[in-house]
Chains A and B, each alone.
Chain A
Amino acid sequence: MTSVWEVFRQERKGQAFEHAGSVVAPDIAFAEAYAHEQYGRRGESVALWVVPRDAIHELDDFPDELGRNYHRVDGYSLKVKLKEARERAGTATP
């Protein structure tokens, strides 16, 4: 039996690992060898993560029933207030 392994690659030390693709292999030894050949042959990666697909749990539902916009940048509209504050202080540019 073969299974799917997802491969993530790091381009330079310190950078985030990015999803590169997947390989099919009968076990981890083959999965590592295939990932090595497919994603590390030309010096394009300094490290790889090889992960069984089943081990990945995806979450993609982010409801915001309470409208908690104070968690987000769009919760703070400073533009209008700043304009008013400048006018009040007499520093507004015409």
Chain B
Amino acid sequence: MDEQGFLEYVQSGGQVETDDWMPDEYRQKLIKFIEMHANSELMGVLPEREWILRAPTLQRKLALTAKVQDEVGHAQLIYRVVEDLGKPREQCLADLISGTSKFHNVFHYPTRTWGDVGVIAWLVDAAAIISQKALLKCSYAPYARIMKKICWEESFHILHGRDVILTLMLGTDGQRELVQEALNRWWAPLMMFHGNPIPAENDPVVQWRIKTQGNEEARQQFLDGYVPQIWELGLTVPDPKLRRREDGVWEYTEPDWDELRSVVTGHGPMTAERLEFRRVTREETAWVRSVVLAEAA
């Protein structure tokens, strides 16, 4: 099979296994895309981890701990896929810490209150599940297969997030305000989450059928699914231009794409602190890895 034949094969829904022949460009695109996904799972637990000890009840502490365990588990599964494509996990972690590789924009921001924790588990995970569902038909089959398990676990997180939000909304005025303020902080990063509206035909990741929907399509699906759920709780979306047109398309204020570019290239408000935390814990746990490997040898 040549490159053109391969492209036609994947575009018509064909799937590829680890040992199958694939063009180098496809392999490189896969590694970059999947590695960023794994990095995001690993970095995504840090904003939530900060709240485990401060969560309001024992039940909430346990639920949050379980979510953190799930996300780290996802990182492990996804790094496995990258390793089989040829990039060792140690290299992925080194590139993450040195800032050579990227992770999702939403994990570069601070979690100021318990309201932020609810908004992250509900709406960030909702946005993520939309992207991840579009990977269930990924042309690279090993990635598509683990996505089944990941999507299944993410649905628990959305439940947990909705429960946190509903509990706050049924509380005092102060608690409702906490949610509204968190939503105000998270709306802009959420609108950037699915990326700039690059047409699907110009997006190599869509052309290779690594993902099966375009950025704007994902964002529209998010707005369609979740804006009504936000409104029905009496919350306000902090965008005066937001409205659903007669034809079903959502209009919104153009997100600040320069901010997105700056954040994901390592200049977010929490980027340096969180990467430093990763670096320190990696050093502190080095002895565990060496003991495990020595004992098994």
> Which A residues are within 8 Å of any B CB, using their own CB?
1-2, 4, 19-24, 26-27, 30, 34, 37-39, 42, 44, 58
Besides the known contacts A23-B76, A23-B80, 13 further A-B residue pairs in the complex with CB atoms under 8 A apart: A1-B293, A1-B296, A2-B293, A20-B145, A26-B292, A26-B293, A26-B296, A26-B297, A34-B76, A38-B77, A42-B153, A44-B149, A58-B19
Q: Which of B40-97 contact A (CB under 8 A)?
A: 73, 76-77, 80, 83-84, 89
The 8 nearest A-B residue pairs measured at CB: A26-B296, A27-B296, A21-B146, A22-B80, A26-B293, A26-B292, A38-B73, A21-B77
Give the nearest-CB partner of B79 in chain A: A24
Cα of A1 to Cα of B290 in the assembled complex, Å: 10
> Which B residues are within 8 Å of any A CB, using their own CB?
19, 73, 76-77, 80, 83-84, 89, 142, 145-146, 149, 152-153, 292-293, 295-297
Q: Which A residues are CB-close (under 8 A) to B89?
A: 24
Cα of A39 to Cα of B80 in the assembled complex, Å: 14
Cα of A15 to Cα of B239 in the assembled complex, Å: 51
Q: Which A residues are CB-close (under 8 A) to B77?
A: 21, 38
Q: Which A residues are CB-close (under 8 A) to B295?
A: 26
Q: Which B residues are CB-close (under 8 A) to A21?
A: 77, 80, 142, 145-146, 149
Q: Which B residues are CB-close (under 8 A) to A44?
A: 149, 152
B73: which of A24, A30, A37 is its contact (CB, 8 Å)? A37
Q: Which A residues are CB-close (under 8 A) to B293?
A: 1-2, 26
| Closest Cβ–Cβ distance, residue A6 to chain B (whole Å) | 11
Known A21-B146, A21-B149; contact A30-B76, beta-carbon cutoff 8 A: no
B292: which of A30, A37, A39 is its contact (CB, 8 Å)? A30
| Closest Cβ–Cβ distance, residue A88 to chain B (whole Å) | 44
Question: Is the pair B149, A24 in contact by a Cβ cutoff of 8 Å?
Answer: no
Cα of A2 to Cα of B146 in the assembled complex, Å: 21
Could you write out 16 A-B pairs with CB less than 8 Å apart? Answer: A1-B297, A20-B145, A21-B145, A21-B149, A22-B80, A24-B83, A26-B292, A26-B295, A26-B296, A30-B292, A30-B296, A34-B76, A37-B73, A38-B73, A42-B153, A58-B19
